[in-house]
Structure 1
Amino acid sequence: MRLITCLPILVLWGINSAESCPDNCRCTQKKSPERSEVNCQKRGFSTFPSNLPMDTWVLKMGENRLEDIRPNILSVTPNIESVNLERNVIKSIHPQAFTGGKKLMLLNLYGNQISKLPSKGFKDLLSLRFLLLGQNQIATIKSDMFTGMRNLSDLDLPLNSLTALPPSGFKPLIALKVLDLALNKIQKISRKAFVGLQELLFLNLDNNNLKNIPIGTFKPLTGLEMLVLDHNHLTTLTSSTFEGLYNLQELYLRNNEIDKLPADVFRHTPKLMQVALSRNKMQTIDGNMLANLQGLKEVYLHDNPWMCDCNINSLVHWITQAKVNQSPLEKLHCVGPEEFREKPLHSLTSQSLHCTV
């Protein structure tokens, strides 16, 4: 009799459970506390599901056919912490799309067709830590796009269409630790572009179109530890280029067009441990500027057209004396004068290096 009494309850529970999970999705409930992971990956959705379980914690909606994000998509899931919308065909986001998502910590919009972020569109995402916007078509940055995001720690914007970084574009992001701007088309950076980012630890500007960096650009980044400027068109650096970077530990300048460095170029970066300057156009540098970096552990200088005359004397001395991890020594060789062509720098002596009149 007791079994018969329980049967309607079990049937009712099964119906409610089925109704609370969108068709074609898989819902997995976890205990302590009760919360559901909803997996709707690759299910052909063209609209956002409306019947999500109220206890949804993780939502996976990647690789569907969503074209826009409509208002209040999170209103029925107040405890949601992670939303994956990568590789849809999203073109627009309504300014109230994420209203109510106060516990959301990760929002993945990678690989869509977004060209413009809505003004104050993320203002309710007070707990958001990770925002992934890579491989879209975003062409402009404005500070009102990031209003309210005071806890964001990681902003990924690679593979977009940015050509410039305006003043105070990231100012609301006071807790930001990681900013990835690689593989854009950035040509200009305002000297106030990074205002407000005192907590930033990692800045990636790899593969852009930078030819110069205004003096003072990095001054607000007092906590920065790693700066990547590889694969740009930088030709010169000044003694003030790295002003403010007192905590910088790793600097990458590979594949640029730098032909000379001031002797005091690293005067603002006393904590540098790794410097990569390979594949530039330098013929000589002052070895003393490297010797003055007491914590230096790795230096990469290969694939530069070193001119082995008396002007390279201090560099040769440093190479032979320094106890740091360097470029493969066989890759550090002279391009001239003719008598030293292809000769490794570490095999040279001060007595053999002469200056041509």
Structure 2
Amino acid sequence: MFSLKMHFSWVAAFLLVLAQSSSVKSGKCPKVCSCDGTKLTVTCVGKNLTEIPLTVDEITLKLDLKNNNLQVLSRGAFILTPYLTHLNLQRCNINKVKEGAFRTLGRLVFLNLAYNKIDILYQESFDGLSSLKELHLDHNRVEEIQPGAFTQLGFLNMLALTHNQLVYVPNMAFQGLHNIKWLRLNYNSLNNLAPEAFTGLFALSRLSLDHNELQFFPTQTMTRLPEVTRLDMSHNPMTYLGEESVSMAKLTHLYLDHMSLQDLSDQALSRAPLLSHLDLSHNQLRYLEPLSGPKELASLNLKGNPVYCNCYMRPLRVWAGKGGVKLLGACAGPPNLSDEPLQDVVPLDLRCRSRGETLEDEFEKEDETTGSPLPTDKPKQKVKCPVNCGCDIESQHATCEGRGHTKVPRGFSTKTQLLDLRSNHFHHLPANSFPGTSQVVSLHLELCKVHEIEGGAFLGMKNLFYLYLSDNDLTSLDPRAFAGAPKLTYLHLEGNRLVQFPGSALALLPSLFVLHLEQNAISKLEPTGLLSVTPNLRELYLTNNTITATAKGALDSAFLGTLHLDSNQLTEIPTHALSKAPNLEEINLSQNSIRWVGPNAFKPIAQSLKRLYMDQMGMEKMSRDALAGLGPGLRALTVRGNQLEELPDLSPLTGLEVVDLQDNPLMCDCPLLRLRRWMENVSLEVIATCGHPPEIRGQKVRDVHVFTSCPEISSPSDKKVVKASRSPKFKKPKTSLLKTPGVKARPTKPKAKLLKPTKTKPQRKPGGPKLTKNKTL
């Protein structure tokens, strides 16, 4: 009986296998394609197909259609093959993927759309691909990513968008990619990344942005990537990396090679503590200071840089030795150390001939005392250079600083990247003043007594990135003054006599990122939309002008992040001028004559504001709602040196890292109890002193005991703690805000003497441009 059952079981299994085999052989297969029934694959490569074959078997798992002529993927194009896991549509002349084209492919894990002609990624192009893990869109013509294009790709691990035509990545462009590990955006034309471009990519560990046109490190954008460990930014035209540029807590590998870096702040990587490998090869770095921040750095690549091994390199060599950092690269000079590996150079050999010797002096090959070549020197290679100027072929720098020139010298090497003409007497810059300087990245024209710049003066300077025109005599600018310099990103016009904001001249600078207009004579900011001509402007410095008024919407800007209006003549917070500045993070209003800060003064920028400076304004009162809307996002608040007796409730500002309340005559009485309670509950140091009553003047608010008899405050709306020691002495717009209920204050003119603005010039480092971080705090 048992053997009979075994026999029937074996027969049943055999018939089942036979049936399956017969089914496979009889399955549908397009005539021009080859099919494998055991692997469930269909291959239709290079058959000049214009449509998806209709006779592909429904149970097919892998479909290869590369090298055909499909052109358009219509809605529901793969409705007959719902079980596909792999789909190859490479080189099919596809120019459009219609909404819902892949809607039935819920099992697809791999999709290759490379080498097609797709130019726009539409909102629902990839709907239905809920299981997709790998998407190849490289070598297309993508120039626009519409919002929501990737929202259905929650399981995607890798997205390749290399070799496309992207110029800009908008906010939330990759929304929905919650599990993506590697995003490849290299070989595009990116010159701008929106601050929230990568928001939501919480799992991203690797980002490729090499071979683009980024001219500055996108610090704000990168801070949204908490898990990135590997970042490739090589082959971008960056010339400078400023303080705290790289703020990425888990970054271990950073590639900044083959760029145009001339300078690197020692604090540039201070917020990348886990960095272990840094590639700075093939830049224009002549020396480097020890890097603060990275504690795990194992390798620093300086190959291909014109590193001059003198005393300026000694601190780096000592630091590398102590930290076990391997230095890759070799010395470019002096002759006795030329081609010597940096790792093998002994710190004692890194020395300068004299204490006051500059980097430029180190490149001179002649003995300053005899004028004859030093015995160990090699003959200096001849380089094209104008009379009464100095040019260095290795660093590609040229200088005519302080040589008494009255006209811009001609005849610089076409490879020159930094041109220093400061401290001459040009007065007037005519059209085409700088022929043959198309490779110049940084141009110094400070202290040249320039009072007129003719339209087209900078024609041909297509790579100009930094322009220093500070401390000249400019009163206005020709609308075409900067024509021919489309990449200009950092513009210094401080220390001139400009009487109005040079909006028309800036309209020709689409890449302008930082604008310095300190110490001019600008009195008004108008009309509405003043910054619309500079849509990418990120930092605007207007310190030490004579600004008394700002038009409504004058400072509206979708990109502006830093605004300095300190040391002007404003009498009120310019709330109306900032009605549409959604990304403003820092505003400095110190040393204006703003006596009163009313309710909702910062409401339009409350969601983005991180740093607020209001020092030495003679401020006598802040409305209880003056800081309404500001919350955990605010990191710094300073109101030092004012006339404040009370402060609004600071308890909503839970993210404060810096707060300065010093030098205010605070009324240490019950109305200040809320501040005292707040000070006791925060971890940061808060220095505030009592100004009243007289018997405790000068004592710290935290130390006095006058608050012990005050009733506790249960909520912000509690108004029972009201008795003030003195009546207000300033004009208020609303009597309902007075400290003493029922007492009507008599408006009086403020009598406080204005503080005289102090002039501060931005610091610049000889031999290369360098931004300086605001030191207001």
- TM-score for the superposition, normalised by structure 1: 0.86
Q: Show the counterpart of 1:45.
A: 405
Report the CA distance between 1:170 and its aligned residue.
Answer: 2.6
Work out the number of aligned pairs and report it.
Answer: 331
Residue 350 of structure 1 aligns to a residue in which SS?
A: helix
d(CA) in 1 for partners of 2:701 and 2:440?
59
Q: Is the 8 A contact 1:80 1:101 kept in 2?
A: yes
Report the CA distance between 1:342 and its aligned residue.
Answer: 4.0
Q: Is the 8 A contact 1:28 1:36 kept in 2?
A: yes
Q: Is the 8 A contact 2:562 2:587 kept in 1?
A: yes
Select which of 22, 26, 29 maps to 2:393.
Answer: 29
Residue 325 of structure 1 aligns to a residue in which SS?
A: coil
Could you list the per-position Cα deviations for residues 235-265 of structure 1 after superposition, in whole angstroms to 9, with x for gaps in the alignment?
1222332133212111110001222222222
Change (3 A) 1:49 1:263: same
d(CA) in 1 for partners of 2:565 and 2:555?
13
Range with bigger deviation, 67-76 or 247-256? 67-76
Report the CA distance between 1:55 and its aligned residue.
Answer: 2.7
1:236 maps to a residue whose letter is: W
d(CA) in 2 for partners of 1:90 and 1:192?
32
Q: Is the 8 A contact 1:142 1:166 kept in 2?
A: no
d(CA) in 2 for partners of 1:236 and 1:342?
24
Could you list the per-position Cα deviations for residues 50-101 of structure 1 after superposition, in whole angstroms to 9, with x for gaps in the alignment?
2222333221101111111110113322222211111111110001111222
Report 1:118-133 matches (<5 A): 118-133=478-493
Whether 1:273 and 2:629 are equivalent positions in the alignment is no
d(CA) in 2 for partners of 1:115 and 1:103?
27
Q: Is the 8 A contact 1:273 1:298 kept in 2?
A: yes
Q: Is the 8 A contact 2:501 2:525 kept in 1?
A: yes
Report the CA distance between 1:285 and its aligned residue.
Answer: 2.0
Select which of 548, 551, 566 maps to 1:190.
Answer: 551
Q: Show the counterpart of 1:348.
A: 705
Could you list the per-position Cα deviations for residues 1-27 of structure 1 after superposition, in whole angstroms to 9, with x for gaps in the alignment?
xxxxxxxxxxxxx9x956x31001111
Q: Show the counterpart of 2:284.
A: none
Q: Show the counterpart of 2:530.
A: 169
Range with bigger deviation, 216-225 or 245-254? 216-225
d(CA) in 2 for partners of 1:348 and 1:273?
29
Q: Show the counterpart of 2:679.
A: 319
Q: Is the 8 A contact 1:297 1:325 kept in 2?
A: no
Larger radius of gyration: 2
1:169 maps to a residue whose letter is: L
Could you list the per-position Cα deviations for residues 270-292 of structure 1 after superposition, in whole angstroms to 9, with x for gaps in the alignment?
21111101111111123xx3111
Q: Which runs of 5+ in 1 are unaligned?
A: 1-13
Q: Is the 8 A contact 1:130 1:154 kept in 2?
A: yes
Q: Show the counterpart of 2:506.
A: 146
Q: Which has the higher contact order (CA 8 A, sep 6+)?
A: 1
Q: Show the counterpart of 1:6.
A: none
Q: Is the 8 A contact 1:334 1:340 kept in 2?
A: yes
Q: Is the 8 A contact 1:216 1:240 kept in 2?
A: no
Range with bigger deviation, 257-266 or 64-73? 257-266
Q: Show the counterpart of 1:334.
A: 691
d(CA) in 1 for partners of 2:623 and 2:429?
51
Select which of 57, 60, 71 maps to 2:417.
Answer: 57
Report the CA distance between 1:339 and its aligned residue.
Answer: 4.9
d(CA) in 2 for partners of 1:158 and 1:341?
38
Report the CA distance between 1:349 and its aligned residue.
Answer: 4.5
- TM-score for the superposition, normalised by structure 2: 0.41
Q: Is the 8 A contact 2:512 2:536 kept in 1?
A: yes
d(CA) in 2 for partners of 1:207 and 1:56?
38
Report the CA distance between 1:200 and its aligned residue.
Answer: 1.9
Q: Show the counterpart of 1:221.
A: 581
d(CA) in 2 for partners of 1:97 and 1:205?
30
Q: Show the counterpart of 2:646.
A: 284
Q: Show the counterpart of 1:4.
A: none
Q: Show the counterpart of 1:94.
A: 454
1:249 maps to a residue whose letter is: K
Q: Show the counterpart of 1:260.
A: 621
Report 1:200-215 matches (<5 A): 200-215=560-575
Change (3 A) 1:42 1:142: closer
Supply the RMSD in Å over aligned alpha carbons. Answer: 2.2
Residue 650 of structure 2 aligns to a residue in which SS?
A: helix
Q: Is the 8 A contact 1:146 1:170 kept in 2?
A: no
Q: Is the 8 A contact 1:254 1:280 kept in 2?
A: yes
Select which of 453, 463, 474 maps to 1:114.
Answer: 474
Select which of 540, 544, 548 maps to 1:179.
Answer: 540
Report the CA distance between 1:45 and its aligned residue.
Answer: 0.4
Residue 319 of structure 1 aligns to a residue in which SS?
A: helix
Q: Show the counterpart of 1:84.
A: 444
d(CA) in 2 for partners of 1:115 and 1:299?
39
d(CA) in 2 for partners of 1:116 and 1:318?
50
Q: Is the 8 A contact 1:81 1:106 kept in 2?
A: yes
d(CA) in 1 for partners of 2:570 and 2:611?
19
Residue 244 of structure 1 aligns to a residue in which SS?
A: helix
d(CA) in 2 for partners of 1:226 and 1:200?
9
Q: Percent identity?
A: 25
1:281 maps to a residue whose letter is: Q
d(CA) in 1 for partners of 2:572 and 2:696?
33
Q: Is the 8 A contact 1:57 1:80 kept in 2?
A: yes
Select which of 248, 259, 281 maps to 2:609.
Answer: 248
Range with bigger deviation, 137-146 or 48-57? 48-57
d(CA) in 1 for partners of 2:402 and 2:691?
56
d(CA) in 2 for partners of 1:27 and 1:142?
34
Q: Show the counterpart of 2:141.
A: none
Report the CA distance between 1:343 and its aligned residue.
Answer: 4.2
Residue 216 of structure 1 aligns to a residue in which SS?
A: helix
d(CA) in 1 for partners of 2:468 and 2:657?
37
d(CA) in 1 for partners of 2:615 and 2:697?
23
Moved over 6 A (4+): none
Q: Show the counterpart of 2:210.
A: none
Q: Show the counterpart of 1:9.
A: none
Residue 417 of structure 2 aligns to a residue in which SS?
A: strand
1:23 maps to a residue whose letter is: V
